[in-house]
Amino acid sequence: MKKRHRIIAIDDEPSVLLIIQHYFEEKFDVGVFNNPAGALSWMHEGNLPDMIICDLNMPEINGFEFVKMIRSSGFFSSIPLIVLSATESSEKKIEILNAGADDFMVKPFNPKELEARINSILRRMGKLSLASSNGE
């Protein structure tokens, strides 16, 4: 049996975490966190995800600060990050992508599109073949 990819989702909205967990649990090992501090703590314990999905607007540490923390870390800087946000502001998208996010999606999102974006990034990183991302 081959190793399943591990994704984590960070969002202060329980409904978003529930959607991600429910939709992706058959294909990935999914971890969910309602704040970035919990995710960082878990990662510092030696748990490295293959992908991070993070909300932009969260209390305490927002998505922008979180992306900058991940990208400045020697251990976590290569982990791909997709940022979700209810804001459609082009300036916010540019700002978060320039800070180091790999992709940006507006909420509400289609889980199938999110899956396609995850698979696309994992393929580019050489962690996924085209056959396995097509469900073959």
Give the chain's domains with CATH numbers.
Answer: 6-128 (3.40.50.2300)
What would the pLDDT profile of 12-32 be if each residue is shown by its tens digit? 999 999 999 999 999 999 999
Q: Is this model's pTM higher than 0.85 or not? A: yes
Q: Is 128 left (phi over 0), alpha (psi -120 to 50) or beta?
A: beta
What is the structure's pLDDT at 136?
A: 47
What would the pLDDT profile of 50-60 be if each residue is shown by its tens digit? 999 999 999 89
Q: Map residue 105 onto helix, strand or coil.
A: strand
What would the pLDDT profile of 94-128 be if each residue is shown by its tens digit? 999 999 999 999 999 999 999 999 999 999 998 88
What is the structure's pLDDT at 134?
A: 58
Q: Where are the beta strands (DSSP E) in 25-66?
A: 29-33, 51-55
Q: Where are the beta strands (DSSP E) in the chain?
A: 6-10, 29-33, 51-55, 81-85, 103-106
What is the pLDDT of the chain when averaged over all its residues? 93
Contact 51, 122 (CB under 8 A): yes
